[in-house]
Structure 1
Amino acid sequence: MTKNSKKGKIVSCLDMGSSKLICIIASVSNEHIEILGYGHKESRGINASAISDMRIAQKSIINVIAEAERMAGFNIEKLMIGISGSQVISSRKEFGCKISSEVVKDVDIFNLTSKVRSDFKKNNREIIHMIPMYYRIDDSSAVINPRFMTGANLFAKFHVISTSQTTIRNIENCIKRCQVSVNNYMVEPYASALACLSQNEIDLGTLLIDIGGSSTSFCVIIEDKVVFVGSSPIGGDLITKDIATILGVNTSLAEKIKNLNGSLFISPIEEKEIIKYRLQDSVSDSMIRITRIELRDIIQSRLEELFESVKLILEKSKIPYNLVPNIVITGGVASILGIDKLASEIFAKNAKIGYPTKFNSAPSEIINPTNSCALGMLVYLRNQYLKEKSKEYNENKGNWFKRFLDKVVAV
């Protein structure tokens, strides 16, 4: 939702993950982002942002929105939705059009973007983000801003992040049944990047890996632009299933074992230490036992597979990710101790855990890697608010000068 208030603008967002739903309501202003309310619920009827069961998903979304509204003290009408990287296709294409007058104007750039949207719409694709990589006039070299330049034809290469129109229609249908509407969409790894990365990391280049429940989304940012978005079908749930299968326990207990004991750092003294859990639902009330190094090996083998799959996808994409100096890991699985060191070894780059860093006054329980995507959407919405304010200021300034000239002419 977006609406104006005395404190700034009220915005809201919904992260639709496979394992959790989080809705945040906040006020954005020139100074900061103030979180007014949030809700956190188990995700049901949703698989990686796509609706898998309309009625169950509707109930889950209503509950999480209601929780955020109760904390904020008012109802919302619109919200931004996060789309998983597994639901999108990242493509780079060049388009061209004739320049309508002597110099390039906003209308020419609009005609170019309209041509892109039309091309994707014909293929039943909904554009989530359209990022200009460069512009070119006729056969000249690339330029950043072609406005007021002379030529016959304008060309541009766009990085287009798109998803299926069917996915979008089902999300909007579900959200509409929850008595709210969708204001905008944002791909999840890009949102997480805005929450976790410093401006230096954005400028120099970073590979951000957001490890979710059913899948892992990632994006490459170079010189303040998202140049690639991808996903791997390996997520935290597979680690839980590995533990459950090997120990012969249910996934609920396996998740508990992973969360309480998940660490890739094991000292020689701890290697043979035995982790014990009593099986409360068994007839004999028996115990399950596993050494810390055995649990480490289960978790590490799956994480190695995950990082190798991301590496392979990047190599096939022909993106120059080797030039990217930083790796940032976020999402719920980022809480496993030593995961950054493992990523650093596999990619041969600096790696660290990404924490949301732009929310000084936010409740501490919400500022963690699990909520990076939802918090990043708030950063994006604040950036949009600041752009609107800047545009409004410039228009008012121009109108004032025009009124002044009119008065001078009248005299």
Structure 2
Amino acid sequence: MQERVIVGIDVGTTKICVLVGELDRDGKLNIVGVGTCPSQGLRRGVVVNIEETVTSIAAALDRAERLSGKKITSAYVGIAGSHISSENSKGFVAISPKNRDIEQNDISRAFEVARAIAIPANRELIHVIPRGYVVDGQEGIKNPIGMSGFRLEVEAHIITGSVSSMHNLIKCVHKAHVEIEDLVLEPLASGDAVLEEGETDLGVALVDIGGGTTDVAVYTDGAIWHTIVLPVGGNLITSDIAIGLRLPVGVAEELKITYGHCDPSAIDEDDMIDLSQFMPDCDDLVPRKLLAEIIQARVDEIFCMVHEEIKKSGYDGLLPAGVVITGGTAELPGILELAGQVLDLPARIGSPLGLHGLADSINRPAYSTAVGLLLWGLSNTSLLMEEEPIDVNVEDDENNLVSRFGRWLRAFIP
């Protein structure tokens, strides 16, 4: 196997993260480059200033290239934002009477029927993900190829996004001189990085709390069932601190990172924070318990919103594997216990594991999405070696949609 470079770009609200992975001759993915940069030009996962976003992406790319010694020309790019929506759909087809054995063409036809839902002109298809197959009423089939039957059914999870939001992100990546291998919904990427196979089989909720959004994905029977991107995240916690303590936003962010906690009861009454370490001209003291109370209130609200989404999925109380918390905000002390209380589920923190190369620098929840994008690329390596990267033409909606769907379909057909 030839060595191949795979790149993931997590375009987040608070930071841009670029990871460079090299697939060696033994098929092992080594992290050889990391580039991060504070994100400018995005709000709640959506581009609001193209030039600022391009500058941020370019800076992160430059750092990753310098560390890895690789020229980055294409990448898997994460997409999020409250414009994302999803639904489950089914497709039915009859099997040819000449040959009752199911072939790949039959699966392709079933997918075409499943994706033939009414998509408004202002929305575009991102993913069509198979949940499972049914042959002549027999459910739970993972790979129907070669089976005999009269009727094939596929159940698919369909994810769409706003055309304008998607195209603005695409423009930014192209302006940074990078072609897009694929746009990947961020909670799906994070799930690849932190979820275990047994968890998705039993039933688990992934909650990725980033700076501008909270991504929720519910998995059952080894497949995705429900996805949503909530327009709340760590930035709101920072804003609450800034308002509640009358501090600059930058200082509020430093306070959150350095002294933040989600459980006020774990903080002593006389534990004070000296603000002079952040603002030399200020000698005020802030009770750390007060800081924790502000943080707890907002994180509690976020988990309440997550709980409502789990209820909407129809799996409230039916997720034996519980909830996995990841993303930068998951690094707040006390968040695990708060999640368990609000969601009434067993909870754990999800960090990307099993990495090679520069693993120590990215083995944190904040890097789950970026690592997942690399794993997404790794899972499609055999396909990608036969194809050129997707040149997403923002002026050609139809070709863009078809090319992405074709890649997805080929990648998922057993």
TM-score norm. by structure 2 comes to 0.84
Q: Secondary structure of 1:109's match?
A: helix
- Select which of 18, 22, 41 maps to 1:23: 18
1:216 counterpart residue number: 214
Shift of 1:304: 0.7
Shift of 1:256: 0.8
2:261 counterpart residue number: 263
* Superposition pairs of residues 347-358 of structure 1, within 5 angstroms: 347-358=343-354
1:142 counterpart residue number: 139
- The 3 A distance-change label for structure 1 pair 337 and 137 is same
2:162 counterpart residue number: 164
Output the CA distance in 2 between the equivalents of 1:317 and 1:128: 20
Shift of 1:152: 4.9
2:325 counterpart residue number: 329
Matching of residue 316 in structure 1 with residue 322 in structure 2: no
* Superposition pairs of residues 349-388 of structure 1, within 5 angstroms: 349-385=345-381
Output the CA distance in 2 between the equivalents of 1:204 and 1:315: 17
Letter in structure 1 aligned against 2:105: V
Shift of 1:162: 1.9
Letter in structure 2 aligned against 1:65: L
Shift of 1:278: 2.8
- The 3 A distance-change label for structure 1 pair 318 and 235 is same
- Select which of 50, 53, 76 maps to 1:54: 50
1:305 counterpart residue number: 301
TM-score norm. by structure 1 comes to 0.85
Matching of residue 295 in structure 1 with residue 291 in structure 2: yes
Conservation of the 8 A alpha-carbon contact between 1:207 and 1:321: no
* Superposition pairs of residues 7-406 of structure 1, within 5 angstroms: 8-29=3-24, 30-84=26-80, 86-101=82-97, 102-103=99-100, 104-119=102-117, 123-137=121-135, 140-144=137-141, 145-265=143-263, 270-278=268-276, 285-319=281-315, 322-385=318-381
Output the CA distance in 2 between the equivalents of 1:214 and 1:119: 30
Conservation of the 8 A alpha-carbon contact between 1:50 and 1:167: yes
Shift of 1:185: 1.6
- Stretch deviating more after TM superposition (183-192 or 105-114): 105-114
Q: Secondary structure of 1:322's match?
A: coil
Q: Secondary structure of 1:44's match?
A: coil
Q: RMSD of aligned C-alpha atoms?
A: 2.5
- The 3 A distance-change label for structure 1 pair 279 and 320 is closer
Output the CA distance in 1 between the equivalents of 2:8 and 2:121: 28
Q: Secondary structure of 2:54's match?
A: helix
Q: Which entry has the higher C-alpha Rg, 1 or 2?
A: 1
Gaps of 5+ in 2: 386-414
- Provide Cα deviations, 1:345-366, integer angstroms capped at 9, x if missing partner: 1122211111111214324222
Gaps of 5+ in 1: 390-411
Shift of 1:124: 4.6
Letter in structure 2 aligned against 1:147: I
- Stretch deviating more after TM superposition (142-151 or 53-62): 142-151
Conservation of the 8 A alpha-carbon contact between 1:15 and 1:373: yes
- Provide Cα deviations, 1:297-352, integer angstroms capped at 9, x if missing partner: 11111111110111012212324563343211111111111100111111222111
Output the CA distance in 1 between the equivalents of 2:82 and 2:264: 33
- Provide Cα deviations, 1:201-229, integer angstroms capped at 9, x if missing partner: 23322211111111211111223211111
Output the CA distance in 2 between the equivalents of 1:135 and 1:269: 52
- Stretch deviating more after TM superposition (13-22 or 217-226): 217-226
Runs of 4+ in 1 over 6 A off after TM superposition: 279-282, 386-389
Output the CA distance in 1 between the equivalents of 2:324 and 2:74: 31
